[in-house]
């Protein structure tokens, strides 16, 4: 699966897709592969503040739990109810319909986030390490 | 085998242990004994524990008749020498029995989910309160003083490191919970209200009234049940949000206080906050029904420091005893059993009153009641022991205001003549 | 290839609720000999509660039992769980009249035998561990851990040196971090070194004035004895912390080495592992906690003591942390553990340890060609392999485990400890005979071969069980946690 060119990525394998003052956040294809079949997604309510680098939710497979760290700071303005009902969307379409939350941004997207090319290289290195 | 390993002695296997860590003398424990000698030792010890006495002790450990096939069945090695069912293909016996257990607990409690078990009633209360704190995001606990005193002690011990504020609410002269006191004690920081019914004095509480007060404050009601036999007759605690129940009464030996089993039951919406093992239904590739441990991500072996609890075991063998007990008595038998308990205690209390004794707390009760004997507890106890009778639990240690009073439990196993003998002994 | 498994008739058996029919009952109560009483507001019935006959109860639970595998069935080399033989004498003494039916609130004068049992067990456990005081109250290992950490917390507070962190090696059982967190501590991970033991340089750096305790398992979950245990203990003590030992692996030490002699301040024992009380399909256990003198005042009440030379219970302990469980703990496990210790005696206990270590090393020797050994450090009572040699064929530790079932063995512990990728943790215990281990080795070697030549045979295993692998993903996505009538 290719990584969308207009997204930015974290070293914890989250993506953020900025669109004006808001942005959608999810986890990457690499992350969903590592976790396996996702059975549960836990998201905070709308209105919850987000702090870049801090956990805001969890995704669970049968035998693993992973925290999801926010790539950006801001406030949650929408959560993906469809994903909560059908966690398997993360396995099927991690970069699209399986977005997790939509945030109103506090300022700019942090500069330290990777662009697609950097992230692809990061993933290639992670895979080689295994 | 040593040859296979190329070793000259078994000592070689321990040579990598630093010298200062090695024990170079034999343990100061007698040499191994035969079965016959071991039996002799334990028989002698058993004789010093008042075997064959008629006992009116209850207070969280209840003598109910245990159908003999409970021990026949649980003594099968496939049950008691198995480990936790982590390999479902060769653990379907344990897994199906736990699924049935969870179902029966839900039927009894009117709740939607029950876990596979925790250590006992006292730790069930603790886990229920911690769970309520997670669900509500609050930390205040309001606990009825008529909850088993040892349960409350355990709650205090195991929450002390996190400094959960615990407020206690008293009881009325009727023996029931002081609802006005409860209303005054709950606040916007209350996570859980814990109420026991039948309470420690045997008095039956009203779940719905307690729930209404808890819910009005945004808190959860934790229903504590010390003898599950009571649920054969008493209304299900369906109004409660979490049920914390001791299962010993369901065929688990009184056995000096353990092992027992506790359970937690709750609404489906709280299932992710529920501690302890859960068994769920599943299918294999050919569509055959089976059962697996599920939602394990709540637990310590996966979530580690973020787990819902550090609990690992589920008292499976005790839960199995309870399952066999429930299946054996069944719908009619459980009701009849509860009715007999109710009747025995009512008769015993009437006999005490008839002998001129004061029976405290007039509100409806199940199989325990509080009475004031004529003699001081220590004197009474010694006199009764000579007549092979244990008259009940002196309450002064737990409730100073009830110094001199006795908590008496009369279950179905006590014959009428013994109930009369008790009344006479208390009135002497 | 010989295998321990063969097919025989296994009865199907529906759920209790599916065999239930109205009016049946599995036992009869004696007639009520006092007047019946009506209770206002009593429930009409327990809806859908089972109604079955006594024989149906017997058949139901007998049939279910045949779908299980226990120590009585065969070799159960489940690492970290010490699945040793559960002697029947333990069961017999526990059910004696006067023990099985004794009430916990009987006065001390009417429970002298029970007190003697607790006192003698406590004395033996102290001798075995080299510790100075003990509580039998904790209901299981995990509750023992919590009790132990609360004792540490209290003792440090008394020193005026409350601290906020607990150090835990990455190879630890999950209960350790869960316990520390519940006791209010921040958990800090300690990395293992290449030998699989505590990395002294990391410990040196991380053992700061903020650390209350190091929670260590020795031998650790890799089955490796911590060579530097004395230096570890000294360092922890010098920096004002305490050394907690998870006693899960005491089966490698009894009679050979004592935690109290190598610097441990507080530890728990698992009576269901080391001392042969049955695992029961997931409990009950028992987790006594043994301590050094400094921690004694804080032990839970009631504490075991002696009065006029007689065993007694002491409730008057102002510095106690309080109760951790109602009554005295899992007394029925005390009788079993004591019977085990008496049956073995000092000589037998030591030999048990030696046999357990010998057996693990025998399996290690026989399997190390076919399976990767991530840590070449000497093994104690268990050995951890990895699936590194099988993974290239698409066969993982979980697959090898399932295939072992077809050969008639209970699998080893899968994917633990977490520090080993694809871990296979094998603990034969002293109960395994050489012949049985040879059969196990043959099965493991055959599976290693199958992994190369017909990997799908292994990844599709087990093939001989009542049901195949269950869809755990679907079960977790749509949990069905109880039976409900189809109305």
The 10s digit of each residue's pLDDT in C356-410 is 999 999 999 999 999 999 999 999 999 999 999 999 999 999 999 999 999 999 9
Residues of C in contact with A88 (CB under 8 A): 477
Predicted confidence at residue C9, as pLDDT, reads 86
Interchain contact, C280 vs B301, CB within 8 Å: no
Same domain, B340 and B320: no
Same domain, B315 and B374: no
Instruction: Answer whether B302 sits within 8 Å of A64, measured CB to CB.
Output: yes
Whether residue B38 is contained in a domain is answered as no
Portion 222-241 of B in contact with C at CB < 8 A: 231-236
Q: pLDDT tens-digit profile of B47-81?
A: 999 999 999 999 999 999 999 999 999 999 999 99
Residue in C67, C181, C257 closest to B22 by CB: C257
Give the chain A residue nearest C472 (alpha carbons).
A62
C480 touches chain A (CB under 8 A): no
Whether ipTM tops 0.85, in short, is yes
**Cα–Cα nearest to B317, from B376, B366, B255, B226:** B255
Along chain B (428 residues), what's the average pLDDT of each consecutive run of 10 residues? Answer: 93 93 96 98 97 96 97 97 96 98 98 96 96 95 98 94 92 98 98 98 98 98 98 97 98 97 96 94 96 89 81 92 98 97 98 97 97 95 96 97 97 98 96
- Own/partner contacts of C438-442, CB < 8 Å, gap of 24 or more, are C438/C366, C439/C2, C439/C4, C439/C75, C440/C75, C440/C77, C440/C363, C440/C409, C441/C363, C441/C366, C441/C367, C442/C1, C442/C2
Q: Using CA coordinates, name the residue in chain B closest to C79.
A: B83
- Count of beta carbons in the 10 Å neighbourhood of residue B34: 11
SS3 of residue B354 by DSSP? helix
Chain C residue numbers touching A32 (CB-CB < 8 A): none
Same domain, B348 and B410: yes
| C472 lies within 8 A of chain A by CB | yes
The predicted structure's pLDDT at residue C2: 57
What pLDDT does residue B214 have?
98
pLDDT, mean of residues C431-435: 97
The pLDDT score that the predictor gives to residue B71 is: 97
Position C487 scores a pLDDT of 65
Residues B295 and B350 grouped into a single domain: no
Asked whether residue B214 falls in the same domain as residue B285, the answer is: yes
Q: What is the CATH number of the domain that holds B295?
A: 3.40.640.10
Domain boundary among B305, B325, B345: B325
**How many domains does one find in chain B?**
2
Provide the pLDDT for residue C282: 93
Residue C105 near chain A (CB below 8 Å): no
The domain spanning residue B352 has which CATH number?
A: 3.90.1150.10
- In this structure, the answer to whether residues B281 and B409 fall within a common structural domain is no
Give yes or no for residue C306 having a pLDDT over 80.
Answer: yes
User: Cβ contacts (< 8 Å) between A60 and chain C: which residues?
Assistant: 476
Q: Which chains touch B (3 or more CB pairs under 8 A)?
A: A, C
Q: What is the pLDDT of residues C151-181, one digit of tens each?
A: 999 999 999 999 999 999 999 998 999 999 9
**In this structure, are residues C134 and C328 in contact, taking their beta carbons and an 8 Å threshold?**
no
Q: Does C201 touch chain B (CB under 8 A)?
A: no
Domain boundary among B325, B348, B376: B325
Return the ∠ at Cα C159 (arms to C157 and C161), rounded to 5°: 60
Are B99 and B167 part of one and the same domain? yes
Q: Would you say C401 and C451 are in contact if contact means Cβ atoms under 8 Å apart?
A: no
Assign C48 a pLDDT band (cuts: 50, 70, 90).
Answer: very high
Contact: C473, A87; criterion CB under 8 Å: no
Comparing alpha-carbon positions, the chain A residue that sits nearest to C479 is A39
What confidence category does residue C267 fall into, taking pLDDT thresholds of 50, 70 and 90? very high
Joined tokens for residue C389 = 């040699």
Is residue B200 located within the same domain as residue B304? yes
- Which chain A residues are closer than 8 Å to B270 by Cβ? none
Are C216 and C186 within 8 A, CB to CB?
no
**Domain interval for residue B296:** 69-325
Do B302 and A42 make contact, defined as CB atoms within 8 angstroms? Answer: no
- Specify the CATH number for A8-129; select among 3.40.50.620, 2.40.50.100, 3.30.70.1450, 3.40.50.300: 2.40.50.100
Query: Among B325, B358, B384, which residue terminates a domain?
Result: B325
Question: What mean pLDDT do residues C263-279 have?
Answer: 97
Q: Any chain A CB within 8 A of the CB of C9? A: no
Domains of chain C from N-terminus onward: 90-342 (3.40.640.10), 352-473 (3.90.1150.10)
pLDDT above 70 (res C182): yes
So what's the pLDDT on residue B85?
Answer: 94
3-state SS string for chain C: CCCCCCCCCCCCCCCHHHHCCCCCCCCCCCCCCCCCCCCCCCCCCCCCCCCCCHHHHHHHHHHHHCCECCCCCCCCCECCCCCCCCCHHHHHHHCCCCCCCCCCCCCHHHCHHHHHHHHHHHHHHHHHHCCCEEECCCCCHHHHHHHHHHHHHHHHHHCCCCCCEEEEECCCCCHHHHHHHHCCCEEEEECECCCCCECHHHHHHHCCCCEEEEEEECCCCCCCCCCCHHHHHHHHHHCCCEEEEEECCHHHCCCCCCHHHHCCCEEEECHHHHCCCCCCCCCCCCCCEEECHHHHHHCCCCEEEEECCEEEEECCCCCCCCCCCCCCCCHHHHHHHHHHHHHHHHHHHHHHHHHHHHHHHHHHHHHCCCCECCCCCCCCCCEEEECCCCHHHCCCHHHHHHHHHHCCCCCCEECCCCCCCCEEEECCCCCCCHHHHHHHHHHHHHHHHHHHHCHHHHHCCCCCCCCCCECHHHHHHCCCCCCCCCC
CA distance readout (Å), A119 to A4, A9, A68, C200, C373: 11, 6, 17, 35, 34
Report pLDDT for B300. 79
Judge: C476–A40 Cβ closer than 8 Å, yes or no: yes
B327: contact with C, CB 8 A cutoff: yes
In a mutational test of the C interface, the residue from B21, B231, B267, B271 whose CB has the highest number of chain C CBs within 10 Å is B21
Closest Cα in chain C to B149: C326
> Does residue B312 lie within any of the structural domains?
yes
CB contact under 8 A, A65 and B303: yes
Burial grade of B287 (CB within 10 A; 0-12, 13-18, 19 or more) = exposed
| Residue-level pLDDT at A1 | 74
Q: Each residue of A57-72: b (16+ CB within 10 Å) or e?
A: bbbbbbbebbebbbbb
* Same domain (yes/no): B232, B319: yes
Least Cα separation, residue A92 to chain C (angstroms): 15
Min Cα–Cα distance to chain C from B240, Å: 16
Chain A residues in contact with C472 (beta carbon < 8 A)? 62
Please identify among residues 47-86 of chain A the ones whose CB lies closer than 8 Å to any CB of chain B.
Answer: 60-65
Q: What is the pTM of this model?
A: 0.96
How far off is chain C from A86, nearest CA to CA, in Å?
A: 8
Q: Would you tell me which residues 411-470 of chain C have a C-beta closer than 8 angstroms to some C-beta of chain A? A: 415
Confidence of residue A130 (pLDDT cuts 50, 70, 90): low
Give the total residue count for chain B.
428
Per cent of chain B over pLDDT 90 is 94
- The pLDDT, as a whole number, for residue B17 is 94
Contacts B–C by Cβ distance under 8 A: 625
Q: Are residues B245 and B376 in the same domain?
A: no
Residue B16 domain flag: no
Is the N-terminal amide bond of C48 cis, ω within 30° of 0?
no
pLDDT tens digits, one per residue of C79-89 = 999 999 999 99
B74-114 residue pLDDT tens: 999 999 999 999 999 999 999 999 999 999 999 999 999 99
Q: For the segment A24-41, what is each residue's pLDDT rounded down to a tens digit?
A: 999 999 999 989 999 999
Is the domain of B181 the same as that of B307? Answer: yes
Residue B317 lies in a domain: yes
- In terms of domains, do B380 and B407 share one? yes
pLDDT by residue (tens digit) across A50-98? 999 999 999 999 888 899 999 999 999 999 999 999 999 999 999 999 9
Strands A74-79 and C303-307: unpaired
């Amino acid at each position: 699966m290719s990584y969308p060119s207009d997204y930015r990525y974290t070293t914890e394998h989250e993506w953020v897709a900025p669109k004006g003052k808001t942005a959608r956040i999810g986890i990457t294809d690499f992350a969903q592969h590592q976790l396996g079949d996702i059975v549960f997604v836990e998201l905070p309510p709308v209105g919850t503040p987000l702090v870049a680098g801090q956990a805001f939710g969890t995704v669970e497979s049968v035998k693993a739990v992973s925290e999801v760290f926010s790539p950006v700071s801001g406030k949650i303005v929408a959560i993906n109810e469809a994903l909560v009902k059908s966690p398997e969307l993360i396995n099927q379409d991690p970069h699209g319909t399986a977005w997790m939350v939509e945030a109103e941004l506090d300022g700019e997207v942090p500069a330290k986030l990777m662009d697609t090319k950097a992230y692809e290289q990061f993933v290639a290195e992670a895979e080689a390490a295994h | 085998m040593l040859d296979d390993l190329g070793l000259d002695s078994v000592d070689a296997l321990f040579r990598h242990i630093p010298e200062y860590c090695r024990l170079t003398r034999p343990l100061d424990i007698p040499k191994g004994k035969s079965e016959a000698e071991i039996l002799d030792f334990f028989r002698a010890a058993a004789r010093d524990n008042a075997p064959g006495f008629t006992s009116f002790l209850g207070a969280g450990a209840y003598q109910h008749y245990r159908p003999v096939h409970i021990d026949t069945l649980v003594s099968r090695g496939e049950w008691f020498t198995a480990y936790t069912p982590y390999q479902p293909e060769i653990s379907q016996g344990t897994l199906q029995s736990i699924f049935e257990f969870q179902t029966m607990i839900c039927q009894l409690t009117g709740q939607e989910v029950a876990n596979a078990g925790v250590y006992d009633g006292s730790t069930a209360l603790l886990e229920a309160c911690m769970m309520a704190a997670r669900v509500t995001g609050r930390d205040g606990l309001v606990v009825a003083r008529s909850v088993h005193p040892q349960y409350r002690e355990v709650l205090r011990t195991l929450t002390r490191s996190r400094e959960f504020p615990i407020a206690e609410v008293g009881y009325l002269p009727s023996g029931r919970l002081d609802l006005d006191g409860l209303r005054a004690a709950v606040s916007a920081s209350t996570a859980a209200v814990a109420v026991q019914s039948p309470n420690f004095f045997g008095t039956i509480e009203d779940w719905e009234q307690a729930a209404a007060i808890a819910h009005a404050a945004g808190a959860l009601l934790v229903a504590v049940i010390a003898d599950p036999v009571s649920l054969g007759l008493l209304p299900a605690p369906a109004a409660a949000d979490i049920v914390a129940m001791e299962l010993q009464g369901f065929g688990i030996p009184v056995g000096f206080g353990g092992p027992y089993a506790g359970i937690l039951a709750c609404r489906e919406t709280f299932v992710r906050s529920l501690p302890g093992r859960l068994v769920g239904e599943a299918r294999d590739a050919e569509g055959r029904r089976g059962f697996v441990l599920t939602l394990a991500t709540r637990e310590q072996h996966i979530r580690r420091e973020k787990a819902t609890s550090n609990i690992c075991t589920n008292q499976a063998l005790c839960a199995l005893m309870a399952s066999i007990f429930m299946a054996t008595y069944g719908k009619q038998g459980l009701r009849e059993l509860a009715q007999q308990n109710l009747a025995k205690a009512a008769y015993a209390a009437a006999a005490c009153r008839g002998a001129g004794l004061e029976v405290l707390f007039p509100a409806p009760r199940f199989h325990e009641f509080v009475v004031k004997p004529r003699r001081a507890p220590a004197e009474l106890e010694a006199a009764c022991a000579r007549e092979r009778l244990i008259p009940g639990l002196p309450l002064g240690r737990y409730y100073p205001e009830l110094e001199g009073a006795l908590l008496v439990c009369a279950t179905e196993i006590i014959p009428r003549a013994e109930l009369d003998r008790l009344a006479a002994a208390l009135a002497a | 290839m010989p295998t321990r498994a063969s097919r025989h008739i296994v009865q199907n058996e529906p759920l209790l609720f599916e065999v239930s029919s109205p009016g049946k009952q599995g036992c009869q109560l004696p007639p009520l000999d006092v007047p019946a009483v009506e209770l206002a507001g009593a429930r009409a019935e327990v809806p859908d509660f089972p109604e079955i006959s006594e024989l149906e109860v017997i058949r139901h639970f007998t049939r279910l039992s045949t779908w299980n595998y226990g120590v009585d069935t065969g070799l159960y080399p489940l690492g970290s769980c010490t699945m040793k033989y559960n002697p029947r004498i333990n069961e017999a003494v526990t059910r004696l009249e006067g023990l099985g039916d004794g009430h916990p609130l009987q006065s001390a004068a009417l429970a002298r035998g029970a007190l003697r049992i607790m006192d003698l067990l406590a004395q033996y456990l102290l001798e075995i561990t080299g510790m100075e005081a003990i509580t039998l109250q904790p209901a299981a290992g995990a509750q023992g851990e919590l009790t132990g950490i609360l004792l540490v917390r209290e003792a440090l507070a008394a020193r005026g040196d409350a601290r906020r962190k607990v150090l835990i090696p990455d190879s630890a059982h999950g209960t350790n971090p869960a316990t520390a967190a519940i006791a209010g501590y921040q958990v800090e991970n300690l990395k293992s070194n290449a030998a699989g033991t505590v990395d002294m340089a990391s410990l040196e750096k991380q053992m700061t004035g903020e650390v209350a305790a190091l929670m260590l398992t020795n031998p650790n979950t890799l089955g490796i004895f911590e060579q530097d245990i004395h230096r570890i203990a000294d360092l922890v003590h010098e920096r004002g912390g305490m050394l907690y030992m998870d006693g899960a692996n005491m089966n490698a030490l009894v009679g050979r080495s004592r935690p109290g002699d190598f610097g441990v301040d507080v530890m728990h024992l698992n009576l269901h592992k080391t001392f042969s009380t049955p695992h029961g399909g997931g409990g009950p256990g028992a987790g006594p906690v043994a301590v050094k003198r400094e921690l004694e005042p804080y032990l839970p009440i009631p504490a075991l003591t002696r009065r006029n030379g007689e065993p007694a219970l002491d409730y008057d302990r102002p510095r106690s942390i309080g109760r951790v469980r109602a009554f005295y703990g899992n007394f029925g496990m005390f009788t079993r553990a004591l019977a085990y210790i008496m049956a073995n005696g000092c000589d037998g206990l030591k030999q048990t340890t030696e046999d357990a270590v010998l057996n693990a090393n025998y399996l290690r020797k026989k399997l190390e060609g076919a399976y990767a050994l991530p840590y070449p450090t000497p093994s104690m009572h268990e050995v951890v392999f990895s699936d590194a040699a099988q993974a290239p064929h698409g066969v993982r530790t979980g697959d090898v485990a399932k295939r072992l079932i077809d050969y008639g063995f209970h699998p080893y512990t899968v994917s633990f400890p977490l520090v080993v990728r694809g871990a296979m943790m094998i603990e034969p215990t002293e109960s395994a005979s050489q012949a049985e281990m040879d059969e196990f080795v043959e099965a493991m070697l055959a599976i290693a071969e199958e992994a190369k030549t017909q990997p799908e045979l292994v990844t599709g295993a087990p093939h001989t069980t009542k049901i195949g692998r269950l869809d755990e993903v679907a079960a977790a996505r749509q949990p069905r946690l109880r039976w409900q009538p189809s109305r």
